[in-house]
Amino acid sequence: MIKEIKDNDLKKHITRNILRDLPEWFGIEEYTEDYIEKSAYYPFFAAYDDDLPVGFVYLKETSPFTIEIYCMGVLKKYHLKGNGKKLMDYISIYAKEKNYKFIQVKTVKQGKYETYDKTNEFYRNSGFYELEVFPDLWDKHNPCQVFVKAV
């Protein structure tokens, strides 16, 4: 089940618990803390297994036409069980209802790290297309791949 979360403390709690389970993606403490803090300020959706939050996504408007997946995570134990897909389906409906035309997401370019190669595959399988690579947006070791999906 997917729920929209409005309570800011609950958003941070869910984000913290899930990101702490994903050090391969969120291993730099200052960035992880930034994701946790920012979760309180954006539309936030959580996937649940009974009463346990097992995944989340939160969104940031980048233009009147585009919403960005600012941060997303699913507990490792729940990877490859459809939770990410359910979150993607839910935010696609949300974006359409809010009259956005596109959803975008940034990740590390294919071929840099195996972990992020799986992330790229997930977004491609979710209907996203590679738009552009910014080689130095984050730093030279982490070229930024932008994916987009029409809503």
Percent of the chain scoring above 90 in pLDDT: 81
Q: How confident is the model at residue 63 (pLDDT cuts 50, 70, 90)?
A: very high
The pLDDT of residue 61: 97
Dig out the tokens for 28 from the structure.
């730099």
The pLDDT of residue 128: 97
The pLDDT of residue 54: 98
Q: How confident is the model at residue 41 (pLDDT cuts 50, 70, 90)?
A: very high
In sequence order, what E strands does the chain have? 2-5, 44-49, 52-63, 66-74, 102-108, 129-139, 142-150
The pLDDT of residue 23: 87
Residue 140 has pLDDT above 90, yes or no: no
| Residue 97 half-sphere exposure toward CB, CA atoms < 13 A | 6
DSSP string, 52-67: EEEEEEEEEEEETTEE
88: which strand partners?
none
pLDDT digits (tens, 9 = 90+) for 87-139: 999 999 999 999 999 999 999 998 887 888 999 999 999 999 999 989 888 88
Dig out the tokens for 50 from the structure.
């009974």
